[in-house]
């Protein structure tokens, strides 16, 4: 094959590819959810893992101590806890995460203890 023919074929393939991509644009991306999965461990004051259904409250702060709460408290009733372990979906909304550092607090109402991350 002559070099000139190879260049002609390459240009033709590129042009065809451009036509196809403009004729069939990529679909619009789906909106991204602000929800995320959180896994934690729940223990009593002696450090023993708890089992059962518990109400857990989660708050987001802008500092590790003496910070301001960001958004509303997310309260989840009847969270299943097995041998201290649980998984929940949390959503503080789009305005909660603006690129700044955030701290998450989890609290178990019935057992008066904090929910620790895994």
User: pLDDT tens for residues 66-93?
Assistant: 999 999 999 999 999 999 999 999 999 9
Residue 21 covered by a domain = no
7 found inside a domain: no
Q: What's the structural domain count of the chain?
A: 1
pLDDT digits (tens, 9 = 90+) for 17-68: 444 455 556 666 666 788 999 999 998 888 899 999 999 999 999 999 999 9
Q: Is residue 56 part of a domain?
A: yes
92: containing domain: 36-117
Residue 58 lies in a domain: yes
Is 13 domain-assigned? no
Residue 19 in domain = no
Strand order in the sheet with 116-117: 85-90, 36-41, 116-117
């Amino acid at each position: 094959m002559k070099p000139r023919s190879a260049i002609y074929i390459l240009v033709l393939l590129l042009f065809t590819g451009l036509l196809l991509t403009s004729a069939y644009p990529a679909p619009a991306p789906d909106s991204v959810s602000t929800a995320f999965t959180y896994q934690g461990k729940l223990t009593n004051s002696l450090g023993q893992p708890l089992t059962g259904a518990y109400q857990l409250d989660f708050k987001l702060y802008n500092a590790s101590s003496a910070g301001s709460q960001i958004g509303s408290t997310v309260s989840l009733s009847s969270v299943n806890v097995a041998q201290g372990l649980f998984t929940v979906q949390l959503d503080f909304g789009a305005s909660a995460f603006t690129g700044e550092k955030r701290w998450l607090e989890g609290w178990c109402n019935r057992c008066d203890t904090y929910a620790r991350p895994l």
